[in-house]
Structure 1
Amino acid sequence: GAIMDMDFSANGKFLATCADDDPGGTSGSSSGSEANKENNSPGRNHKQLSRRQKKNRVRKEDSSPPLKKKPKKQRHTVLRQYAKLNLNDADLFKCIKNYTLHPEDLFLLGYPVESKLYPGRAMIFKSASKPFDVNAKEFVPRNESVYASLIVQNGSEQFEKYTESPIKRVEKETSEEKKCGRCAKSFFISTDGEYLTQEHCMYHWGKLVRPQSGGTESYYSCCKGKKNTKGCTTAKLHVWSGIDPGRNGPFDGYVRTRPKKVPPSDGNFGIYALDCEMCFTTTGLELTKISVVAHDGRLVYDTFVRPENFIIDYNTRFSGITAKDLSRKTGTKLLKDVQNDLMGFITADTVLVGHGLENDLRALRMIHTTVVDTAIVFPHAYGLPFRRSLKSLVNTILKRDIQSDVGGHDSCEDARSCLELILWKIRKDRIRDDIENKKMIS
């Protein structure tokens, strides 16, 4: 796959996986004028109806014009890989647990974890050191943790680097320097989130492609421009992810999933895959939409979310989210409402599946330790921080194209794709294990 050289892509996730190809542009809206004309045309039998009957009939026809309204996508179909796996839910839960990350690995991979010194608050780490190998055995299925592997490779001083220490009181600065997640230029914001640097951001929205064969320079997929060339896209302001290199926090406003009061008799605590869309605000990336699907691919939760802070960029090219989506009086929620909803069916032992799931949990401000990350289960050949994109994995493994909608990504489609990838992995590993067991018996 193509290799990328920056920390974050234009769509706010790890560049090595999520700076996907351009979906194509903006989506147009279809007009329902023909349907309205059909509904408003007088019918032969209207004379025989009372005024109230006529009124009710018109209302009914207007709400659902026959054959004229574009049908909605079917999102409740059972996933093909789930059907092929043919496991009951309890056995599936036992199988998928083998692919969960070690709790010690979560911090180093950028997941929000609860502070040991400040309970109830979250700590987040962003690596600025050399990559470590994701192709080791410990990742799929789990064995020795990444944390332990780093100690062995780098000595005990590396361990000390990642331990948490009390916050030192320092004189409060009036401004903070940030690095733009798109063009990599430095800019300044005040401690209150006000932009002190008012300049346009010129960047490449595409990924940096490094050709497999030597001799040819790397180029951007968006415009074929070579590395270090001036950006092909202009935005009003610079943006940042909200996370700086090193330790970040402790942060307030995070919720931690709780253990189930009465454990299920079959040991199945549930499996859900989720995907979030985000926008850039004055404080970094914030949640704008979330989709959650059940273990078989059925959509169980889907809502737009209004960010708390001023929006700098809706990130529409990748998220598909527009100002209109978030300005609706109904159908949008606040983050705290979403957290409350999710805590109603996600417990500490529920398995959450996603791609680069640390980004989603940070946007949700949720601490959860039982996770399966397809970016880790299917590692990049060059190891971390490089990660294969979800689009690339689905195309290579499931032989299907996703994220090609002109209106941006579909969070439900992405969540279903993550789930189908791990179901495929479970099925293939079971087939391999059966073959090996038969060889041992014979």
Structure 2
Amino acid sequence: MFSSRGLFKDVPCPSKHECTLPNCLFKHEEASVEPKVTSDKSQVHNSTAVRSSESPPPAKRRRLDTPEAIRQNDTYIRQTTIQGKQPPQKVTANVLSHDSQPSSQQAPAYLAHGFSINGSSTIASEKSSTTIRTPASSARANRSDTAAKQPASVTRAVSPPPTSRTQKASSPPPKPYRKPADKRGLNPRQIEQSPVKFETRHAYLKKLHKQIEDANNRHRKDFSTQPELILSKEELETQALDDEERIANAYPNPDTYKNNLAHRLAFYTPKKMTAAIWKDTITTTWLTNPNLATLTFTPQKPIDKAATGLSTEAQEVTVLKHLRTGLHQHAKHGYIIKAPDEKAISAVRALQKSNGHNETCDRCGTRFQVFPGRSDPSGQGRLTTKGPCRYHWGRIPRYNGATRGNFPCCGSDAGTEGCQLADHHVFKVSDAARLASLLQFKETPHHNDGRIRGPIVFDCEMSYTSRGLELIRLTALSWPTHTTVLDILVRPIGEILDFNTRFSGVNADMYLSAPDYGHEGKPPKYGPGEPLQIVASPAAARDLLFDHLDPDTPLLGHAIDNDLNACRIIHPFVIDTVLLYPHPKGLPIRYKLRDLARVHLDRRIQENSGDGSEGHDSKEDSAATGDLVRKKVGQKWEELKRSGWWWKGEMLMPPGAAKGLKGGSSL
């Protein structure tokens, strides 16, 4: 193609009105024909319109730079210009006003033939839909003049509609998400069994923090374009706390603790901590994806379904039987396996009466008096004496009957004044007869309904009342699916002195606003955001739990003796993670569930508020307990497999069983 440069603009077109070229090089004469309008002003279709033989055909449509279609009131209209002295008019799609309708003398011939959106031609009328078009030559001649008179919103360039690809390209990349930092300061975290004194741990912790800080500063230049690989002040402290706590939990012996901590200090030296190792360390510790493009952080890492090496849940339940501990072992570890008789209960009640209900505070050790059921209109010390209680919520571990170290809650020395203040002194009861004097123990009943009851993992939360430490929340999950079967609040028997929120997770607002269980005939949904329902007593909560238990139902828990005592339950089939993961020094020293979850599941629990002040979540604790048991199930299956056990369907067959013989182990 070539440009005409206007050489033929004064030469008449040989085809005259029969020319159909949109950009003809020759001259065309414009004809003026009056529009034909019906007398009744109604719309006339193109099939009934009569075209004058002298009228030229409508000019072929030509794409303009300005938009031709505008959406207004769900009707498409077209905007154009009319050649002549009158400035271009905007014609609406529904009604042409008298001011905007062109006169018959000024309207070109093609106005007599309307152009509808769906392709059918119509004759313009005063109340009919009309589309106005200009010839190509006219549009070409007046384009610049028309653009100058149109609003900027029409004349500016129009971007194409965004597609999925353009939207993805224009959206900013997601911000990498980091795990939250510990903002409690550089004090060693509380653990069950400290290998050395608090002062020694604190000194090593400061050295470790200094070593990590130096490594962080060395690599600032290496990762100047990747700020996510540089730790903040709080993150440096958290990294040091995590490293020291992991070593202290894994190596309770003082010598091995010091040796492994020395190796960790050497790990951050310039010789070993290269830029590549630093990147890998920060990526795997603080970020979950080394690509650093779409990073997400998952606080909890559930066990893989294939971690046990078993193909079905039924097989897991079958292997679970081999982790069972008998009642005689429970009795050896202090479990209550027999309900106290009435003689022992009567003796305890008589002793309490003669003692005047004097108790020893479980938090500060103060001797005080409690008055269950007492009512005082003044509301000042109506249930207990000796005023408020000042205490340390952290406990110093005991070694051979003596305390050693500092309080983990505030780092203060033993014997210093407490860092917390409560309204009442509180106490707890451990004696079986005294527990039974408040609510008698009950064995798990048999059910004859033919229903198969699978394993249950449960956890209880307690609060302090005028009767001791009582049940206030009960949660039960199915195992191994973790489906919630029961999660309720419980009204204790005594008056509440302290909700014990830091450990129970239950506060006054949650307790007082809880609806009654099954209110308005609606069963609990246990979904996100659903309020916990409350039952009238611990006995009512126990009956609801019994509905999911048979005597041969595996009942799983962590330090489950405390939960069983709170519910006053004697159950023959119990699996306790305290016994599955024993402390090297043996009972009564136990690993905390939080520490077991971090070491064996790489999961952080009981950290709802960062500092733990909002307390435990019994559902979270139950799920962690269930996963700890699943890990032991996988290990037990590996032992059985090495011994020659094999599967016949869902039946676990012993090593000597022939292929054709019946038998095996199944739930």
TM-score class, shorter-chain normalisation, is: 0.5 to 0.7
1:180 to 353, 361, 374: 361
Per chain length, whose mean CA-contact separation is higher, i.e. which structure has more relative contact order (CA < 8 Å, sep 6+)?
A: 1
By how many angstroms is 1:426 displaced?
A: 1.5
By how many angstroms is 1:256 displaced?
A: 2.3
By how many angstroms is 1:411 displaced?
A: 0.8
Does 1:243 pair with 2:430? yes
Does 1:197 pair with 2:385? yes
Does 1:280 pair with 2:450? no
**SS at the partner of 1:223?**
coil
Query: Which structure 2 residues correspond to residues 126-145 of structure 1 after superposition, within 5 A?
Result: none
2:335 match: 111
Query: Which structure 2 residues correspond to residues 17-28 of structure 1 after superposition, within 5 A?
Result: none
1:344 match: 547
In the alignment, the residues of structure 1 paired with residue 485 and residue 386 of structure 2 have an alpha-carbon distance, to the nearest angstrom, of 42
In the alignment, the residues of structure 1 paired with residue 588 and residue 440 of structure 2 have an alpha-carbon distance, to the nearest angstrom, of 28
By how many angstroms is 1:297 displaced?
A: 1.4
Change (3 A) 1:309 1:250: closer
In the alignment, the residues of structure 2 paired with residue 83 and residue 306 of structure 1 have an alpha-carbon distance, to the nearest angstrom, of 41
In the alignment, the residues of structure 1 paired with residue 627 and residue 415 of structure 2 have an alpha-carbon distance, to the nearest angstrom, of 38
How many residue pairs get matched? 317
1:417 match: 624
1:84 match: 307
By how many angstroms is 1:285 displaced?
A: 1.3
Amino acid at match of 1:393: L
1:231 match: 418
TM-score by length of 1: 0.63
In the alignment, the residues of structure 2 paired with residue 393 and residue 312 of structure 1 have an alpha-carbon distance, to the nearest angstrom, of 31
Amino acid at match of 1:298: T
* Most deviating of 396-405 and 340-349: 340-349
2:277 match: none
Change (3 A) 1:402 1:168: closer
**SS at the partner of 1:291?**
strand
2:615 to 408, 418, 426: 408
Would you say the 8 A contact 1:113–1:122 is kept in 2?
A: no
Aligned identity (percent) is 28
Would you say the 8 A contact 1:173–1:191 is kept in 2?
A: no
Would you say the 8 A contact 1:182–1:239 is kept in 2?
A: yes
Per-residue CA deviations over 1:404-441 (Å, capped at 9, x if unaligned) read 10132111110010010011011123224434659xx9
1:320 match: 505
In the alignment, the residues of structure 2 paired with residue 225 and residue 362 of structure 1 have an alpha-carbon distance, to the nearest angstrom, of 33
In the alignment, the residues of structure 1 paired with residue 397 and residue 335 of structure 2 have an alpha-carbon distance, to the nearest angstrom, of 27
2:591 to 383, 388, 393: 388
Amino acid at match of 1:320: G
Would you say the 8 A contact 1:277–1:411 is kept in 2?
A: yes
In the alignment, the residues of structure 2 paired with residue 383 and residue 302 of structure 1 have an alpha-carbon distance, to the nearest angstrom, of 32
In the alignment, the residues of structure 1 paired with residue 456 and residue 370 of structure 2 have an alpha-carbon distance, to the nearest angstrom, of 37
- Relative to total residues, which structure has the larger strand share, 1 or 2? 1
Instruction: Point out the structure with max Rg over C-alpha.
Output: 2
In the alignment, the residues of structure 1 paired with residue 447 and residue 498 of structure 2 have an alpha-carbon distance, to the nearest angstrom, of 39
Would you say the 8 A contact 1:352–1:372 is kept in 2?
A: yes
In the alignment, the residues of structure 2 paired with residue 168 and residue 236 of structure 1 have an alpha-carbon distance, to the nearest angstrom, of 28
In the alignment, the residues of structure 2 paired with residue 78 and residue 222 of structure 1 have an alpha-carbon distance, to the nearest angstrom, of 28
Does 1:3 pair with 2:3? no
**SS at the partner of 2:564?**
helix
In the alignment, the residues of structure 2 paired with residue 373 and residue 395 of structure 1 have an alpha-carbon distance, to the nearest angstrom, of 18
In the alignment, the residues of structure 1 paired with residue 366 and residue 567 of structure 2 have an alpha-carbon distance, to the nearest angstrom, of 27
1:293 match: 477
What runs of 5+ residues in structure 1 fail to find an aligned partner? 5-20, 22-73, 124-165
In the alignment, the residues of structure 1 paired with residue 337 and residue 404 of structure 2 have an alpha-carbon distance, to the nearest angstrom, of 40
Per-residue CA deviations over 1:100-159 (Å, capped at 9, x if unaligned) read 3321233443434333745xx999xxxxxxxxxxxxxxxxxxxxxxxxxxxxxxxxxxxx
Amino acid at match of 1:337: A
By how many angstroms is 1:269 displaced?
A: 4.5
Change (3 A) 1:168 1:309: closer
Would you say the 8 A contact 1:223–1:232 is kept in 2?
A: yes
